Amino acid sequence: MIQRFTDRGRAQHGRGLGRRLPGAVAVLGLLVAATSACSSAAPARPDLGRVAIPSAPGAPIVPTASPGHAQLVAMGDAVHLDLGAQQGQITATGPDLALPAPAPGAAPAAQSQGSITVTLRVPAGSEVLSGDALAVSDELGHAVQVTADAASATAGPGHDAVLHLAGTFAAGHSTLTWSNAGKPLATWDFEVELD
């Protein structure tokens, strides 16, 4: 609608903004009705764009190793053992390193003395943890010489078998493998950082 103004700058009577208002309300009503019709044609999905985030498990998941089914885990993780008639759990932690303070301006050490602790637990019966059944290797697969603080230790209900393996560990990736009856059952993967 075109407005005509008088030479005084006012709209002519009956042609001002007041006459436009009902038309604008009608157009607005049509837009609201069209929007409602579109939204009712395609129902909104409240879950669209949302991804469910799983919660952390209540207790850590402990993998089970059995003859012919070895497990690879990170250092510090426990492994459940199913040895037929014998059940148990074995854990390895470390290495605990004896890092000397570097001299000012000197490069970090390339290797360090350290020890790994292996703990075997059984709920019933007994099981022997032998130092000879534990082997450490570096990232190239070369054996790392370690010495157990005892030839073996025996685990029983309420009494864990614990062995400490002392050795010199180079910076980089390494593994510790425990074998039972000559077959590997658990391997722990770890990184030695000396800087």
Looking at the predicted structure, is the pLDDT value of residue 41 above 90? no
Q: Are strands 161-170 and 146-148 parallel, antiparallel or unpaired?
A: antiparallel
End-to-end CA separation in angstroms for the chain: 81
Looking at the predicted structure, is the pLDDT value of residue 5 above 50? no
pLDDT category, 194, cuts 50, 70, 90?
confident
Looking at the predicted structure, is the pLDDT value of residue 76 above 50? yes
Arithmetic mean of pLDDT over the chain:
82
pLDDT category, 178, cuts 50, 70, 90?
very high
What is the rounded CA–CA span in Å between residue 150 and residue 128? 12
Strand partners, 124: none
- Between 23 and 11, the more confident residue is 23
What strand order describes the sheet that includes 143-144? Answer: 71-74, 183-192, 172-180, 134-138, 143-144
Looking at the predicted structure, is the pLDDT value of residue 155 above 90? yes
What is the rounded CA–CA span in Å between residue 130 and residue 169? 21
Q: How confident is the model at residue 97, as a pLDDT? A: 93
- Between 181 and 75, the more confident residue is 75
Summarize pLDDT for 82-137 with one digit per residue, the tens.
Answer: 998 999 999 999 999 988 777 788 887 889 999 999 999 999 999 999 999 999 99
Provide the CATH number for the domain formed by 64-192 in this structure.
2.60.40.1240
181: left (phi over 0), alpha (psi -120 to 50) or beta: left
Q: How confident is the model at residue 124, as a pLDDT? A: 96
Q: How confident is the model at residue 152, as a pLDDT? A: 97
Q: How confident is the model at residue 33, as a pLDDT? A: 56
Q: How confident is the model at residue 122, as a pLDDT? A: 97
Identify the weakest region by mean pLDDT among 6-10, 79-83, 141-145: 6-10
pLDDT category, 1, cuts 50, 70, 90?
very low
What strand order describes the sheet that includes 78-83? Answer: 64-65, 78-83, 86-97, 111-121, 161-170, 146-148
Mean pLDDT score, 38-64: 66
Q: How confident is the model at residue 110, as a pLDDT? A: 86
